[in-house]
Amino acid sequence: MESTVKRRHIPGTSEKQPGDDINLYNLQDDYKGKSYRPQTEAHVAYSSNKNIAFLQQNQHTVITIILTLLAFWTRFRKITLSNQVVWDEAHFGKFGSHYINHDFYFDVHPPLGKILVGFSGWLANYNGSFGFDSGAVYPEHVNFGVMRVFNAFFGAMVVPLSYLTAVQLKMSVKASLLAATMVLLDNATLTISRFILLDSMLLFFTATSLFTLTVFHNLQNESFSPKWWTWLCLTGVSLGCVLSVKWVGLFAVALVGVYTVEDLWNKWGDLKMPMKTYLNHWIARSIGLILIPACIYVFSFVMHFHLLYKSGPGDAQMSSLFQANLEGNDFGDNPLEIAYGSQLTIKNSGYGGGLLHSHVQTYPEGSKQQQVTCYHHKDENNKWVIRPPRNRNENEYERPEEEDFIRFVQDGDYIRLSHVPTRRNLHSHPVNAPISTSEYEVSCYGNETIGDIQDNWIVEIVDDAVYRNKDRVRSLTTRIRLRHEKLGCLLTADGTTLPQWGFKQSEVFCAKDNDLDDPYSMWNVEQHWNPKLPPAPPNAYKTSFIRDFIALNVAMWTSNNALTPDPDKYDILSSEPSEWPFATVGLRMCGWGDKDIKYYLLGNPIVWWLSISAIIVFTVLTGFYFVRMQRKIFDLSKDKWEQYSYVGKTLFLGWFFHYIPFYIMGRVTYLHHYFPALYFSIFMVPFLLEHFTRNSPKAVVYAAYAITYVAVIATFIHFAPVSFGLTGPITNYESLVWRDTWNLIEEKRN
């Protein structure tokens, strides 16, 4: 029986795509597998007026220049109006100071963006002496305007990049210009670009990653040509840079990775392609999209370690061996080998591990003996002395009458650790630890004469970072385990935080599971004093870049994951991912007094609402097309479907990868985390607008674009004060409160 469903079978044709006539590289697809051919201009009718004809021939260059100038005007306008440290300038300004002063610091983000902040300070002749305290007034000798302009430059360049990217996505001039206009006039990305922060750099390198990928895609039929190699490598450079500014760059890497896997899969299905050529594609992408980004990422840490060669506030997050090589650190004066009678500090070898610590306060429950914790700051309470074990002949370990007698601590030795300030001994017993209740409690107990065998610990040497001989324990280089003699458990500190009664320090317990590979059950001697022993010889404490690079990255990852919301503290600045797309929340970036210059991080509502609506519409529309295609109803030609699929898929996945992961992250989140995702969703608006009006009369097309342009521009003008500075009483701006959830006037309700 003949089907009653009407089906339109539209053959694949080489129809002209929207924007083909305005391609930046003037290239034309040939779906027959041939190389690109330069597009002739014979069909273009230019004006007889030379000036107009010149503008017609160079429209992209002219538009790009105009957009760049407008971006500079919006990003630089009134940039020094507030002479106070605004929001996270308190953090990143300090980091820039550390590079100028060469003091080692620790942060959860990779170093490239902060190195650039330091470079901006160098350009401003800043000497690194300002503390960048939140809300502090910049002194006259700090040219903060130059530093802000430097950062704003990156934010400004995102605007012309967005236009050129839309052109490469084969959108028409009016659609490409709309994309750039929405980026130009989004209040949130404008505001955050105007301060000494990392976000403008992150957005810039995200934008370059998308732009270079689209150019590379349009050169797919010129494989292995110089131009093809150039844009492949530039894509890798962009990925390396965005990853080196913040780890959010991994989402851009994921987008390019998905594109590459699909591209190579499609090439695998091309039976006409020689296997050698196919393997060369794999090699090329491995070089351009893996090796180059990895080299840039590693090189950013090479610069980081090279610039920060002095001891600073971030020392404790690094290994003791690394710290010994910093200027101003006295670890290098440590006697090399540990002996009985040595006074020392002991550091946990787990990533981000602290120093073994005790204080006079006792546990509120359990044994109620003296607390033992891990502490990340230098303190007299971190000092311990190695003493002979209980129930052993002390004469075998110490002979006070013989000044030259030294017994070095060896693998398998029994020791007792006496806390220097309180004279109590490191002790464990069959009492549950306060937090890790399945493990044994560790406390300080007794004194030199009062104690028992439960004060004894067995030294087990794990490895040595420098020396092959592992018989003796050495300062800084040797990792050891401390096993309780009676219980057989291992002294451990896994980063678990104690309550306020433990001063939020890390819990120390004795682990029963005997996990010999657990780094949190390993320790090393950090500082070492022994008047009977000479300082270590020169170059005794060598370290390697690879070891330091891995250790710092794992410490960054661990600390980043530890940035979780505090249930006991209400954070007015934080927000949930579900609040971002529809501009449900804003963020106060500074003091809110009548005399303060106030900045409110709030997106242009029209831009944000259109962008997320476009994402939703694209999802529904694509599902609609797939359902109809399954029934053999083809609404688009082959060429148009391929273009729709490529552009839509790239933009949707870019938004998806940069947004959805925040739902599964345990860390605290803020509004600015949505900005890279927003960038991708903005392109979806002109893309769909052009898609829906492709067969409409010109009057309808221009009306649709005109309404969108007017809405974006008018809304930006209305909300411009939140970006350029709110002056006077905040109650003067009640007209800006469109939603009850915006805490522009009142505090955000919990």
Q: Closest Cα partner for 525 from 330, 320, 328, 381?
A: 320
Q: Please indicate, yes or no, whether residues 596 and 522 belong to a single structural domain of this protein.
A: no
The reply to whether 307 falls in a domain is no
User: Model confidence at 567, in pLDDT bands (50, 70, 90)?
Assistant: low
Q: Please indicate, yes or no, whether residues 390 and 436 belong to a single structural domain of this protein.
A: yes
Provide the pLDDT for residue 31: 33
Provide the pLDDT for residue 9: 43
Provide the pLDDT for residue 588: 96
Q: Please indicate, yes or no, whether residues 502 and 448 belong to a single structural domain of this protein.
A: yes
Q: Closest Cα partner for 558 from 312, 202, 318?
A: 318
Report the 10 Å Cβ neighbour count for 478. 26
The last residue of one of the domains, among 516, 542, 568, is 542
The last residue of one of the domains, among 495, 523, 542, is 542
The reply to whether 559 falls in a domain is no
Provide the pLDDT for residue 89: 96
State phi, psi for 348 to the nearest 5 degrees.
Answer: -70, 135
Q: Which helix (H) or strand (E) holds 192?
A: helix 187-192
Decide: 103 and 94 in contact? Cβ < 8 Å: no
Q: Please indicate, yes or no, whether residues 439 and 502 belong to a single structural domain of this protein.
A: yes
Lowest mean pLDDT among 146-155, 389-398, 642-651: 389-398
The reply to whether 323 falls in a domain is no
CA–CA dist 178, 276 (Å, integer): 43
The last residue of one of the domains, among 526, 542, 558, is 542
Provide the pLDDT for residue 570: 65
Mean pLDDT of 115-142: 96
Provide the pLDDT for residue 568: 61
Q: What is the CATH number of the domain that holds 459?
A: 2.80.10.50
Percent of the chain with pLDDT over 70: 93
Q: How many residues does the chain have?
A: 750
Q: Please indicate, yes or no, whether residues 126 and 273 belong to a single structural domain of this protein.
A: yes
Angular region, 713: left φ>0, alpha ψ -120 to 50, beta rest: alpha
User: Model confidence at 394, in pLDDT bands (50, 70, 90)?
Assistant: confident
The reply to whether 567 falls in a domain is no
Mean pLDDT of 575-597: 95
Q: Please indicate, yes or no, whether residues 162 and 273 belong to a single structural domain of this protein.
A: yes
Tens digit of pLDDT for each residue in 211-261? 999 999 999 999 999 999 999 999 999 999 999 999 999 999 999 999 999
The reply to whether 3 falls in a domain is no
Reduced to 3 states (helix: H, G, I; strand: E, B; else coil), residue 412 is coil
Q: Is pLDDT at 425 greater than 80 in this prediction?
A: yes
The reply to whether 561 falls in a domain is no
670: containing domain? 20-302+576-736
Provide the pLDDT for residue 345: 96
Decide: 417 and 345 in contact? Cβ < 8 Å: no
The total domain count for the chain is: 2
Give the CA distances from residue 157 to residues 165, 184, 351, 742, in Å, rounded to whole numbers and listed in that order.
Answer: 12, 10, 38, 29
Mean pLDDT of 461-485: 93
Q: Please indicate, yes or no, whether residues 336 and 295 belong to a single structural domain of this protein.
A: no
Q: Please indicate, yes or no, whether residues 340 and 296 belong to a single structural domain of this protein.
A: no
Q: Please indicate, yes or no, whether residues 338 and 219 belong to a single structural domain of this protein.
A: no
Q: Please indicate, yes or no, whether residues 277 and 387 belong to a single structural domain of this protein.
A: no
CA–CA dist 51, 412 (Å, integer): 89
Q: Please indicate, yes or no, whether residues 43 and 179 belong to a single structural domain of this protein.
A: yes
The reply to whether 448 falls in a domain is yes
Q: Is pLDDT at 21 greater than 60 in this prediction?
A: no
Mean pLDDT of 407-433: 97
Provide the pLDDT for residue 65: 97
The reply to whether 631 falls in a domain is yes
Provide the pLDDT for residue 44: 61
Q: Please indicate, yes or no, whether residues 378 and 271 belong to a single structural domain of this protein.
A: no
Cα atoms in the Cβ-side hemisphere of radius 13 Å centred on 306: 8
Give the CA distances from residue 80 to residues 142, 144, 189, 196, in Å, rounded to whole numbers and listed in that order.
Answer: 12, 8, 18, 12
* Cα dihedral value 614, 619, 621, 626, nearest 10: 160
